[in-house]
Amino acid sequence: MATPENKLAFDGGWAYDPAPESTDHISLKKRYGLFIGGEFVAPENSRYFDTINPANEQKLARVAEASEADVDRAVKAARAAYSGVWSRMPAKERGKYIYRIARIMQERAREFAAIESLDGGKPIRESRDIDVPLAAAHFFYYAGWADKLDYAFPGQRAKPLGVAGQIIPWNFPLLMAAWKIAPALATGNTVVLKPAETTPLTALKLAEVIADAGLPPGVVNIVTGAGKTGAAIVNHPGVDKIAFTGSTNVGRIIQRALAGTRKKYTLELGGKAANVVFADAAIDQAVEGIVNGIFFNQGHVCCAGSRLLVQESVADEVVAKLKERMETLIVGDPLDKNTDIGAINSSMQLEKIQSYLKIGKEEGGEMHQSACRLPKKGYWCRPTIFTGVAQSNRVVQEEIFGPVLAIQTFRSFDEALAKANNTPYGLSGGVWTDKGAKIFKMTQGLRAGVVWANTFNKFDPTSPFGGYKESGVGREGGLHGLDAYVKLGAR
């Protein structure tokens, strides 16, 4: 059986040595309060919960659980900061504060990366090279918009909404915080943000950065907690806008909860993206893209390429190469710089993924996993593919949010497009071909908000992101991401 070790044994018993990122430079408090009105305060009912490292199940810190009263305090702080300071401040000055956040984050990038991997389980290679730099870049990008909004909305005057309530997921904790906070601040809103209960630490470290940057108290408030805390934000009458990233089911609940109110909302929800590989694609490159599409961040990616549609004439070759490549993926310690696939974020998510593996087999799919060894402690899932699945199978239709790929074949372009579009989702898609015209034909036909051609899972602050159909409402990032945080009126 091939293993990561012998696959790479080009001329003998060569193996990877451990290459762990050091954590002696990071500082974590034993206990974190809520960041309200510019300082950390205790929750009114003194309740705290543990946040653990999913790679070894050890406690990292205690974190406050915000109650309705705490959320109310945060919203009031945000409202006071909005009316008193932030909405009156010259836009240029607002922008400079946001630039400060970006710069401090760059200075402390390695610390943020290490904490992100500790708290969430993602490989340090990703948190170091993707999450943290992109988060800083996002602040840098939107900082510059603050005094240029007249150019973003031709013929209109853009005004802030007020207090934005923001709820983010656990798959890209710091990056999602940046996606939410940066455009809200640039457009003159103040913020109450809730990070996910399994990954609160980098948001709390971001609170430190925001304090260090000297932002007026209450402009950004960070409250930790689970679903009840989120519901308190959604239902608070003092909130003018809800920005949510998470599952389609919760998005639906939020859209309903906001019914009959004047609150604006943007929803970034689930996905089941097809990665379409044509016979004329550069096959090795496509295999790398498939791997990146589904195994990036353990597959905890709403825009993951969780379906592979491969043209029949190259299907055997692609699947064989994919299986070979899967054997070389290193699953293990998120802090090890050689790790490709880290820990599953939580035991709950691991159970969900495992239930889908069972469903996939019961539905008649053929499951294949790499043969890698898994650590004894922590939450792990081997890279997994299903072949022989039908369009109606649940592993083809439903978002698994793990390293699990459903593989189907197609003959014609039209068949590929029809299958690609045949889910309720429409967040992203991918196409692999050597022909430019075919790229455009496919990218035009895909009913999805982000389409990658001969690449996958690329992100940039200038590039709008968001879904069609049940994958959400609104865009984040780029010029179009400003729209979520303004009301337009005649000049």
Partner 1 sequence: MAAANRLSVAKTYKIYIDGKFPRTESGRYFPLKNKQDAVIANVCRGSRKDFRNAVVAARKAQAGWARASAYLRGQILYRIAEMLEGRIEQFVAELQLQGRTERQARKEVEIAVDRLIYYAGWADKYQQVFSSVNPVSSAHFNFSVLEPTGVVSIIAPDDSGLIGLVSYIAPAIVGGNTCVALASESLPLSAVSFAEVLHASDVPAGVVNILTGFRDELTEQFASHMDVNAIAWPGDGRKMARSVQTLAAENIKRVIARPKIDWMSDEGESPYLIRDTQEVKTTWHPIGS
Of 111, 302, 303, 399, the catalytic one is: 302
Q: Mark the segment that binds partner 1 (CB under 8 A) among 95-103, 184-192, 208-216, 252-260.
A: 252-260
Question: Is 437 near partner 1 (CB under 8 A)?
Answer: no
Distances in whole angstroms, Cα of residue 280 to Cα of each of 97, 221, 406, 429, 441: 49, 51, 21, 18, 15
Shortest distance, CB of residue 121 to partner 1, whole angstroms? 26
Size of site (CB under 8 A) for partner 1: 47
Question: Is 424 near partner 1 (CB under 8 A)?
Answer: yes
Q: Mark the segment that binds partner 1 (CB under 8 A) among 12-20, 165-173, 237-245, 250-258.
A: 250-258
The residue (of 238 and 478) whose beta carbon lies closer to partner 1 is 478
- Could you say which of 295, 466, 485, 486 contacts partner 1 (CB under 8 A)? 466
Residue 387 C-alpha from the chain's centroid: 27
Shortest distance, CB of residue 131 to partner 1, whole angstroms? 15
Scan residues 152-181 and list those touching partner 1 (CB under 8 A): 154-156
The residue (of 83 and 249) whose beta carbon lies closer to partner 1 is 249
Shortest distance, CB of residue 269 to partner 1, whole angstroms? 7
Confirm whether 303 is a catalytic residue.
no
Confirm whether 381 is a catalytic residue.
no
- Could you say which of 86, 170, 356, 468 contacts partner 1 (CB under 8 A)? 468
Shortest distance, CB of residue 11 to partner 1, whole angstroms? 31
Positions in the binding site for partner 1 (CB under 8 A): 137, 154-156, 248, 251-253, 255-256, 258-260, 267, 269, 424, 436, 439-440, 443, 448-455, 458, 460, 462-466, 468-473, 475, 478-480, 488, 490
Q: Which residues are catalytic?
A: 268, 302
